[in-house]
Amino acid sequence: MLLASLLRANGSHSLPATESTIGGMNRREFAKFCAGVAATMGLPQAAGLRMAEAAATQARPPVIWLHGQECTGCTESLLRAEHPTLESLILDLISLEYHETLCAGAGHQAEAHKQKIMQENKGKYILVTEGGTPTKDNGIFCKVGGKTQVEQVREAAEGAAAIIAIGSCASWGGIQSADPNPTGAKPTQDIVPGKVVVNIPGCPPNPYNFISTVLYLLTFNKPPELDEKNRPKFAYGRLIHENCERRPHFDAGRFALEFGDLGHRQGWCLYKIGCKGPETSANCPAIGFGDVGFGSWPVGTGHPCFGCTEKGTAFHKPIHSLATVKTLTPPTAFPTVEGAKGWPADPAAVAILAGIGGALVGAGAVAASRMRGTPADDDDTSHPKS
Amino acid sequence: MHDAHVQPRPLGGRILTVPVAILTVLTLVGFYYIAKRYFFGIGAVANVNPGYPWGIWVAFDVIVGPAIGCGGFAMALLTYVLNQGKYHPIMRPALLGGLFGYTLAGVAVMIDLGRYFNSMNLLLPWHLNTNSIMLETALCVMAYVAVLWIEFSPAFLERFGLSKLRKTLERFMFVIIALGVLLPTMHQSALGTILAVNESKLSPLWWTQLLPVLYLISAVAMGYSVVAFEATLVSRGFRLKSELPLLSSIGRIILWLVVAFMFIRIGVIVLNGNLGLAFESTRAALLFWVETFLFGAAIVLLSTDRLRRTERYIFLSACALLLGGTFYRLDSYLLVYTGSPGWRYFPSVPELMITIGLVSLHVLLFILFCKLLPVLSNPPRQAAEAHAS
């Protein structure tokens, strides 16, 4: 009934044989991929091998994926993952049992399957919430199968081994939680207080931050190290400002002052047009988006960071407002954007030019003074031809 | 006009004179820096930068140079197109001036281009960008340099007594002469078109869609002026009979060209409501008035018949017009041209010395050619005076 179930025949469940593949990767490639994941998470190389083994040998954990108040951008983002691809993630690494966007089944059938999986795998499945949860007026603003989102989340969280909140909406409430927050939208953590919710914020989050977290959970049966806002430290441990490729421009005082101005066209720092990089923690500058190489993230393409991974920044602060710089406040006396560039006039060059000018005027004046000041004909009349 | 005394002949005389020695030294200094540029790159000698990718080499050598070298073109227009045979005696020196003006502009481009060797792509039709105004300029200059050398080649053929070859060439000369009129028309106007596509980088005191027209008119006027300038100085310097009667009639043509130029130039500014810019205290306004004064002076100095028949005023008007035309080009290509904001440019000493070296080479070759080849046809002054008295 599920896409996953329909395609299951296609995927292989165990790794060991050399010819068997995981997500289109052979054993060697998959081991390398896991080593890469481990490296980006700051784990020792051996952890990569353990991840590869865990993913290959352990039964794939069922995943229940709930959609609340959101745009499905997080799922869209996940669709664009290349290593591994979404299908190898949901067919080989996890068993995606319920996902309203990707479900092959629908209606009561889908809801019944969800209930079945939750009962059969109590305490073993992973719950992923995408989207905020409305709480005002008993949460009537978002209902699936007759149940409000609050009920859905609480019910699914009850038997979950781990809860992951993907995206800014599930992590902080997202755009619908911005003032005046008409639906009383809240993050998943607020709906299930007392439970550990791993937040993968971003609008959308980088799919690899999600995949890496899932692999870590599979391998070590515990969430990766989290910061005070329950974000995995490997991905959200540093400010964007710290790894930004435009940081040297910030330090040198070269700022874009408006879109399309000289500084903006030159690729200078976007702080003064509202970049929230200095107060936002994420690994965007390091890993980029879309697997297309360096610079493929908002600041890299010339738009200020709007702080989607930071609580209280995106959707709460205007895009154009200045970020609160947490590391170093720029001094007021930076060099100006329009400072003189190029070389000043060399006195010798000025002297040569002045000399040429003087010589030309002088020579011209002398030549002219020696010439006849009266028409040649007057002269001819005074010297009649013989 | 086929009297014996209009037949051009070499001047002869001593080759190594004081001016020749000075010019040779300046040329050698220039070539020292040119060698340096080829060994160490443009950055080692020039102050050009990302804001001013072209400097004095382009603005003076490539833009002003050919305008001053327009004498050959302007005289061909008069002598052949309007069939005014009486101007034949000053045709060949005018051609010679144009020959070096254009050839050295081509040389300057090769110095200024970072990857000069890529210019061979201009000769490969499948590499041509037919939408580029630079392409037209480059091809016209290259073709016109070749045309000028062919147009001038009778001087060599006469000197070395190759009369048969000269007769053969004579049969095709009309094609070459026609090209010699067509190509500069295209090229001189194209120099204005380059700026016409740069509206945002130029003050409205200079920018107009009519820039190609203004560039062409001023180039022709400068061409006639350089003939007048050259002829007065040559007749004095080499002690030859003055060409004043011919220059006087050219003076009338110059007058109307400058009047037309100023009429369009000022008219466009007034019609577009930009005259106010001329009264601000900016560099652009100052330079605008310098130009206007020089062009205005040329008009005044040529305004009456009596003034036009006076050697001193013909000479001074030619100076004013050459300076005015030079300023017009330097201003629009360099002095009021803003490539990128924030950048400044002032030529370096080596950069200046290369330009000075090329100009010196121009004058040096002109003097040597006059002495060694049949270029000038006016009789020595004493002989003329003896003949007159």
Which residue of A339, A342, A350 is in closest CB contact with B345?
Answer: A342
Q: How many domains does chain B have?
A: 1
Q: Which residues pair with A132 in a beta bridge?
A: A69
Whether residue B382 has pLDDT greater than 70: no
For residue A246 the two structure tokens come to 């435009």
Which residue of A341, A353, A369 is in closest CB contact with B352?
Answer: A353
Instruction: List the single range of A27-31, A150-154, A237-241, B181-185 with lowest mean pLDDT.
Output: A27-31
Mean pLDDT computed over B119-127: 89
- Is the CB of A365 inside 8 Å of chain B's CB atoms? no
Mean pLDDT computed over B346-356: 94
Confidence label for A3 from pLDDT (cuts 50, 70 and 90): very low
Domain of residue B26: give its range.
8-379
pLDDT digits (tens, 9 = 90+) for B56-103: 999 999 999 999 989 888 888 888 888 787 888 888 888 998 999 899
The span from the first CA to the last CA of chain B, in angstroms, equals 22
Distance CA B204, CA A37 (A): 60
State the architecture of A238-340 in CATH terms: Irregular (4.10)
Mean pLDDT computed over A233-251: 91
The verdict on residue B3 lying in a domain is: no
pLDDT digits (tens, 9 = 90+) for A338-373: 567 788 888 999 999 999 999 999 988 998 888 888
DSSP per position, B6-27: GS-----S-S--HHHHHHHHHH
Q: What pLDDT does A126 receive?
A: 92
Q: What pLDDT does B192 receive?
A: 92
Q: What pLDDT does A1 receive?
A: 38
- The CB density around residue B317, as the number of other CB atoms within 10 Å, is 27
Mean pLDDT computed over A314-342: 74
Percentage of residues in chain A having pLDDT higher than 90: 48
Whether residue A196 has pLDDT greater than 80: yes
Q: What pLDDT does A11 receive?
A: 39
Please answer whether residues B333 and B196 qualify as being in contact, where contact means their C-beta atoms are separated by less than 8 angstroms: no
Q: What pLDDT does A313 receive?
A: 92
Distance CA B306, CA A99 (A): 100
- Is the CB of A339 inside 8 Å of chain B's CB atoms? yes
Task: Determine whether domain A3-235 maps to CATH 3.40.50.720.
Answer: no
A386 interaction partners in chain B (CB closer than 8 Å): 388-389
Please answer whether residues B344 and B51 qualify as being in contact, where contact means their C-beta atoms are separated by less than 8 angstroms: yes
The verdict on residue B190 lying in a domain is: yes
The verdict on residue B104 lying in a domain is: yes
Interface touch B349/A349, C-beta < 8 Å: yes
Please answer whether residues B358 and B107 qualify as being in contact, where contact means their C-beta atoms are separated by less than 8 angstroms: yes
For residue B335 the two structure tokens come to 């002095």
Instruction: List the single range of A92-106, A233-247, B14-28, B277-291 with lowest mean pLDDT.
Output: A92-106
A268 interaction partners in chain B (CB closer than 8 Å): none
Q: What pLDDT does A42 receive?
A: 67
- Is the CB of A260 inside 8 Å of chain B's CB atoms? no
Q: Tokens 């001074």 sit at which residue?
A: B316
The verdict on residue B388 lying in a domain is: no
Residue A224 distance to chain B (closest CA, Å):
50
Whether residue A376 has pLDDT greater than 70: no
Counting one residue from chain A and one from chain B, the pairs whose CB atoms sit within 8 A come to 89
Q: What pLDDT does A333 receive?
A: 59
The verdict on residue B322 lying in a domain is: yes
A341 interaction partners in chain B (CB closer than 8 Å): 49-51, 342-344
Supply the mean pLDDT for chain A: 83
Residue A336 distance to chain B (closest CA, Å):
10
The verdict on residue B386 lying in a domain is: no
Whether residue B313 has pLDDT greater than 50: yes
Distance CA B176, CA B146 (A): 10
Q: What pLDDT does A210 receive?
A: 92
Supply the mean pLDDT for chain B: 88
- Is the CB of A356 inside 8 Å of chain B's CB atoms? yes
Mean pLDDT computed over B235-245: 82
Q: What pLDDT does B287 receive?
A: 95
Distance CA B285, CA B271 (A): 17
Please answer whether residues A189 and A165 qualify as being in contact, where contact means their C-beta atoms are separated by less than 8 angstroms: yes
Best mutation target, B229, B344, B358, to test chain A (most A CBs within 10 A)? B344
- Is the CB of A341 inside 8 Å of chain B's CB atoms? yes
pLDDT digits (tens, 9 = 90+) for A116-149: 999 999 998 999 999 999 999 999 999 998 999 9
Q: What pLDDT does A229 receive?
A: 92
Q: What pLDDT does A17 receive?
A: 43
Whether residue A325 has pLDDT greater than 90: no
Q: What pLDDT does A331 receive?
A: 57
CA dist list (Å): B216 to B50, B67, B219, B223, B261: 29, 9, 5, 10, 9
Structural domain boundaries in chain A: 3-235, 238-340
B345 interaction partners in chain A (CB closer than 8 Å): 342-343
Residue B309 distance to chain A (closest CA, Å):
5
In terms of average pLDDT, the best of A40-54, A243-257, B369-383 is A243-257
pLDDT digits (tens, 9 = 90+) for A72-96: 999 998 888 887 777 777 777 788 8
Mean pLDDT computed over B18-22: 93
Whether residue B132 has pLDDT greater than 90: no
Phi, psi (5° rounding) for residue B9? Answer: -150, 155
The verdict on residue B307 lying in a domain is: yes
Q: What pLDDT does B46 receive?
A: 93
Q: Tokens 């993050």 sit at which residue?
A: A187
Q: Which residues pair with B380 in a beta bridge?
A: B240
Q: Which amino acid is at B267?
A: G
- Is the CB of A386 inside 8 Å of chain B's CB atoms? yes
A337 interaction partners in chain B (CB closer than 8 Å): 342
Taken in order B275, B276, B279, B285, the sign of the CA dihedral is: negative
B312 interaction partners in chain A (CB closer than 8 Å): 368-369, 371-373
**What ipTM was reported for this prediction?**
0.81
- Which of residues B194 and A380 earns the better pLDDT score? B194
Q: Can you give the CATH number for the domain in which B65 is found?
A: 1.20.1630.10
Q: Is the previous residue joined to A180 through a cis bond, with omega within 30 degrees of 0?
A: yes
Q: Tokens 């008409």 sit at which residue?
A: A182
pLDDT digits (tens, 9 = 90+) for A198-230: 999 999 999 999 989 988 888 888 899 999 999
Taking each continuous run of H as one helix and of E as one strand, the counts in chain B are: 14, 0
Whether residue A383 has pLDDT greater than 50: no
Whether residue A269 has pLDDT greater than 90: yes
